[in-house]
């Protein structure tokens, strides 16, 4: 899926509307995790170096279509300014006469960050007049927000129909790595899926089964597969409605699908809970599975040893609680130690787990899009990607 990039355009002196993903966590009015802002720096710096006048736009949180100081992007503007060591002007809104004046007054290399797009319900509705207002601020549109590309919103799809629309460097990198994993992965190709629900990843599993050599399943979704095999899972998270689907997928995958052999269980969902390691046939009725066990870790690690492409989406357990983080962090270590593999982390909780493990810099690519990554791996067309001009 080749899309035009910023390299294809003359940007000198142009007003460029850049859709970034500054949907960052805040703590007392400060950015507590600037990963997404840092991810946009290659695109921002390139545009500055090429003499563009930058108008950045993003959403933050779920303000439900009305202004709220809790969801202001001002802290993101302050953090970006620190990172690029130059002023970042902050607009009081994202549309309207005052914003138009600020955008028109920008000089070469200057930056303006618009206020939260979702302060207006027209953003998520992709309303035509709102799209025209945003597009009217600029002469070129760059989408660098892969994490929002699965949404057909004004700032991700609508504006792209009104301006020359190209991919930023982060968007380009996401499409290259995820696209190759889907279309032409180096073999052996191993996929690791975790997280809570099978139903969230049906399409991904079905798509991956057409290409993977092995599919490792952990996390809460493994419980449904284990139950489908007739095993008891106690009080563990379980999707009863997906049992038939789990049986069908296991039949389709055959011995390519690897499930936990042993698990870490607890008597309650709590970091202070009593824990045990048991085989998957020995989960007591009142206990719950919260992580994979050491035998499973060893088996999963061994199955990764000769991999050339690995895609990982979803943790192996409740890694946010230290007693149940061993499986997830062990998978991260196994990937970090693969000498020749392309390792792709599919955003969301997987990305958070890799960052927490301290091994993020040893992965080939960490996606910035949770839902977008899943939909892309499922083979769905992402509106924010489809809207960009083809190369």
d(CA 239, CA 227): 9
Q: How far apart are CA 328 and CA 130, in angstroms?
A: 43
What are the start-end ranges of the H helices in the chain? 35-39, 41-49, 74-84, 97-105, 121-125, 128-135, 169-183, 202-208, 219-228, 243-253, 294-304, 326-336, 348-357, 370-377, 383-386
Distance CA 95, CA 117 (A): 9
Q: CA 220 to CA 200: how far, in whole Å?
A: 12
Phi, psi of 216, rounded to the nearest 5 degrees: -100, 130
Which residues, other chains included, contact 276 with Cβ-Cβ below 8 Å and sequence gap of 6+?
264, 265, 266, 287
Query: DSSP string covering 183-250, please?
Result: HSPPSSEEEEE-SS-SGGGHHHHHHHTTT-SEEEE-HHHHHHHHHHTT---TT----GGGHHHHHHHH
Q: Which residue has the tokens 């009863």?
A: 240
Helix (H) or strand (E) holding 153: none
Structure tokens at 326: 């061993």
- Return the active site residues: 36, 197, 348, 371
* Cα distance between residue 116 and residue 19, in whole Å: 11
Q: What is the 8-class DSSP label of residue 380?
A: P
* Structure tokens, 292: 């994979």
Give CA–CA dist 263/353, Å, rounded. Answer: 19
Angle between helices 219-228 and 243-253 in degrees, nearest 10: 90
């Amino acid at each position: 899926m080749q899309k035009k990039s910023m390299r294809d355009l003359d940007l000198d002196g142009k007003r460029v509307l850049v859709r970034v993903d500054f949907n960052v966590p805040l703590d007392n009015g400060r950015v507590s995790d600037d990963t997404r802002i840092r991810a946009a720096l290659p695109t921002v710096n390139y545009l500055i170096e090429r003499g563009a006048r930058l108008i950045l736009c993003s959403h933050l949180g779920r303000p439900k279509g009305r202004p709220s100081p809790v969801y202001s992007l001002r802290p993101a503007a302050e953090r970006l300014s620190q990172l690029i060591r130059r002023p970042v002007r902050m607009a009081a809104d994202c549309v309207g006469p005052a914003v138009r004046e600020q955008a028109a007054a920008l000089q070469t290399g200057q930056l303006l960050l618009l206020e939260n797009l979702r302060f207006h319900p027209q953003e998520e509705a992709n309303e035509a007049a709102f799209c025209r207002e945003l597009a009217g601020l600029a002469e070129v549109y760059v989408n660098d927000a892969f994490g929002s590309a699965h949404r057909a919103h004004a700032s991700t799809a609508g504006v792209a129909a009104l301006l020359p629309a190209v991919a930023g460097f982060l968007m380009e990198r996401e499409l290259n790595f995820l696209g190759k994993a889907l279309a032409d992965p180096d073999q052996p190709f191993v996929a690791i899926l975790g997280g809570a629900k099978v139903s969230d990843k049906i399409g991904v599993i079905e798509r991956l089964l057409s290409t993977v050599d092995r599919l490792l399943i952990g996390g809460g979704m493994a419980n449904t597969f284990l139950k489908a095999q007739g095993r008891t899972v106690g009080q563990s998270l379980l999707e009863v409605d997906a049992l038939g689907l789990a049986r069908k997928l296991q039949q389709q995958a055959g011995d390519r699908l690897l499930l936990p052999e042993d698990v870490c269980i607890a008597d309650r969902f709590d970091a202070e809970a009593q824990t045990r390691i048991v085989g998957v046939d020995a989960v007591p009725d009142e206990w719950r599975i919260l992580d994979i066990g050491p035998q499973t870790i060893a088996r999963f690690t061994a199955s990764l040893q000769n991999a050339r492409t690995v895609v990982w989406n979803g943790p192996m357990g409740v890694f946010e609680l230290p007693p149940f983080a061993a499986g997830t962090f062990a998978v991260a270590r196994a990937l970090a130690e693969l000498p020749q593999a392309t390792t792709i982390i599919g955003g969301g909780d997987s990305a958070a787990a890799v960052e927490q493990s301290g091994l993020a810099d040893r992965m080939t690519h960490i996606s910035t899009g949770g839902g977008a990554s899943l939909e892309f791996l499922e083979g769905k067309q992402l509106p924010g990607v489809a809207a960009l001009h083809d190369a």
